[in-house]
Each structure stands twice: as C-alpha cells, then as structure tokens.
Amino acid sequence: MLRLFSLRKKETHRLAEAPAGNRLYVVGDIHGRLDLLLRLYDKIAEDARKEPAGDRHIFYLGDYVDRGPSSREVLEFLMNRPQSGFPAIHLRGNHEAMMLQFLEDSSIGPEWFAYGGLATLMSYGVNLKAEGKPEQKLAAAQRVLNENLPESHKAFLRGLPTYASAGDYFFVHAGVRPGIPLERQTDSDLIWIRDEFLDSQDFHGKIVVHGHSYRTEPEVRPNRIGIDTGAYATGRLTCLVLEGPGMRFLTT
C-alpha cells in the first residue's frame, strides 16, 4: 500500500486535480504484451519531451502477466528499465496474486490457467507435459516455476502494493467497495471487485482510476476512470495522463 501525496479531500463540486506541479502517467493492464509496452513507453517519452513538466510519475495498475506471450519479459522490463526521471509505482493485480498463490498452492492451477496462466508458465519455460495424474502435473509445474522464477521476480511480485493515492485520485487495479472508506478497503476487493464497483454511482472520496474490467475505449465516469482496453486481445494498451485538472490519453 502506498500513498504518494496527502492533499485536501476532494469536494464533489470542483474538478479533480493532480498534485500541483506534477504530471501523472497511468498505464493499464499489460498482460504479457511487451511489444505494446515498448510502443507506449516511446509515446510517454515523446509526450514528456513535447510537454515539459515538473515532477512526473508513472503508475502501473497491475496485471502484467498472463494471456500475452511475454510475461517474464514484461516483469524484467518493469523492474530494470525505468523511464529516466520518472519514478514508477507498480500495483498488484489479481493475475499477479494468482501467480503468487500458485507458487504456494498448486491446486489453484486450473483456475489460474483459465485466466491465462499457461502463457505465463510458457514464458518461464514450464509446460504440463509431465506424466501422471492431473494433481501430479500441477505439482510438477509448480516445482519448475519455483525453480525458474528468479528471486528478483519473486521479490518484485511479493512487494507490489494494492493501491496508491495522489491528489484527488486513488489508483487501484480493480476498484473499491462502495460505502467503505478508502483507508478501510480490503486487498481482495482492491484487486478483484467488479460489478458492485462498476455499477455504483457513489462518490468514493477520490476519483478511482482502475483497470481490470476490459472496455475497448477508456471509460470516464464522474466517480471513476477505467483504462483497461484489453491489450492482449485488441492491441490497445492505454495510458491516462493527469495534470492539474486536465486529462488525456495515450494509446498504442
């Protein structure tokens, strides 16, 4: 959990604002698409050159792994290729949570695989071709993934916070539970909630910026901004740019 800035609470009658003198770049669900991340990275760098600003920060909203072909490479990139002058905040998504759980409990394998976990196994050189009963194959895959997953990757995944806050914005992977103060939200809701949050018209104390729920276009509502544009399927990875009271989007 991470709070970057502690500013006055947002009032419902004024426009939401990023912290004064800051530009915030917020990247949606990557899902193993290193190719799109590289393209978006270049767009962010170009935007920064064209539009000089004071302090700049990049927020990644989680779901770096699964579905796309390059989960391992995405994690390696995020860990080792920070944008010059851009402090990065990486949040945890439900797919990182499932990957971590599989490392400890192989029985979650079928559920994780249904969400695209097989692509992550393949990116780490793991397959399910071992002989034996299904539970034995899962245990073998778990063992090989633990062996092939670098300790630096494990530490990165385990250290991911579930939210960050800046100015009038609250950044999270999935959303928040309506009616519960932001400081009392559970990690499970922050990375998994969907319909209760998406259908709510409540103001949550800050504008919630989230991924997790795939739309073909960014979804801007009075109480939330959704930026998961289904990169793994659509080829569109989206970045929200927040500066002062304004917002705009960069996309592949």
- The answer for residues whose C-beta is within 8 angstroms of residue 93's C-beta and 6 or more apart is 29, 61, 62, 63, 64, 173, 174, 191, 211, 212
Question: Domain for residue 157, yes or no?
Answer: yes
- Parent domain of 116: 22-251
13 part of a folded domain: no
Is-contact 65 112, C-beta < 8 A? no
The domain that holds 209 is classified in CATH as 3.60.21.10
Q: Residue 11: inside a domain, yes or no?
A: no
Report DSSP state, residue 5. -
Per-residue pLDDT of the chain (252 residues; tens, 9 = 90+): 455 544 444 444 468 999 999 999 999 999 999 999 999 999 999 998 887 667 899 999 999 999 999 999 999 999 998 766 789 999 999 999 999 999 999 999 999 999 999 999 999 999 877 677 888 999 999 999 999 999 999 999 999 999 999 999 999 999 999 999 999 999 999 999 999 999 999 999 999 999 999 999 999 999 999 999 999 999 999 999 999 999 999 999
Q: Is 220 inside a domain boundary?
A: yes
Residue 154 amino acid letter = K
16 domain residue, yes or no: no
Residue 121 lies in a domain: yes
Residue 97 lies in a domain: yes
| Number of domains observed in the structure of the chain | 1
173 domain residue, yes or no:
yes
Give the largest CA-CA distance in the chain.
Answer: 63
